[in-house]
Amino acid sequence: MSAAVFAAAPMALAESPRLAFGLGPQAVIAPSYPGADSYTARPGAIFQLQNLRLGGVTLSESDGWFDRDGTGFRGSLRVLSARKASDNPELQGLEDLSTALELGGGIYHKTREFQIYLDLRHGVTGHRGWVGEAGIDMFLRPVDGLTLAAGPRVGFADGGYMRQYFGVTGAESADSGLAAFTPGSGFHSAGVGLRAVYELNQDWAILGSVGYDRLIGDAGRSPIARQGSRDQFSVTLGVARVLRLH
């Protein structure tokens, strides 16, 4: 599950809060693991830091659910579900992978019409690799309170991440029957995404997304993806509330 960075037309407050973040539950439909051809529906969480001021220094500031217009920095977070052979018989012989938490940040440039972004994260639990995404979003506002953001994206990672999620060691090859494979760093996916935010009021919003990514490079050549699928789809839908501390 990925924590998306949403944006929407701002709803002005009398004073910028010292701390503000969006929090709420969401439902996630996504591949059972990277490269799988099976899907699981599972609960997830929406978390987005919107404003953070420490003393006189502003570390993060956004316009509601979207980044503020201009060039700036933002936080980035993603959670990857555990990969277990007990849940996926085709992975028998491969090492189980625990749930991974990735933390990092990114840089963006945004106008009312479009946004360009680059995010980079490091694995805190589950893996110790570096991963990131770059993309372009175009914004549409068909009705009051509703903002759509859609555009292309690419994903990249270092060798540590690639070997953990797409590699097959010699021992795993002997146990699973899959060919041994040692992927390197580089781009691992290319796709498109559509995100939507409907602001019910100044505090509450409904958030959703649909995405498609094609595994490319060594990820697409991995025996794990070849026995599964290089086509990866995802859907999320949730509701969140903005909490503020002045």
What single string gives the DSSP state of each residue in 24-75? Answer: EEEEEEEESSTT-S-EEEEEEEEEEEEEEEETTEEEEEEETTEEPSEEEEEE
Compute the mean pLDDT over every residue in the chain, rounded to the nearest whole number.
90
- Residues of the chain with pLDDT > 90, as a percent, come to 77
Mean of the pLDDT values across residues 15-39?
89
Task: Return the beta strands (E) in the chain as ranges.
Answer: 2-3, 19-31, 39-54, 57-63, 66-67, 70-80, 100-110, 114-125, 130-140, 146-157, 186-199, 204-215, 231-245
Mean of the pLDDT values across residues 95-113?
96
Neighbours of 99 (CB within 10 A): 12
Question: Would you state the pLDDT for residue 18?
Answer: 74
Question: Would you state the pLDDT for residue 17?
Answer: 63
| Dihedral sign from CA coordinates of 71, 6, 103, 84 | negative
| pLDDT tens readout for residues 121-143 | 999 999 999 999 999 999 999 99
90: DSSP letter? G
Instruction: Provide the whole-model pTM.
Output: 0.87
Burial of 24 (0-12, 13-18, 19+ CB in 10 A): middle
pLDDT at 104 over 60: yes
pLDDT at 198 over 50: yes
Question: Would you state the pLDDT for residue 12?
Answer: 38
Rounded distance between C-alpha atoms, residue 2 and residue 18, angstroms: 26
| pLDDT tens readout for residues 205-233 | 999 999 999 999 999 999 999 999 999 99
Question: Would you state the pLDDT for residue 174?
Answer: 97
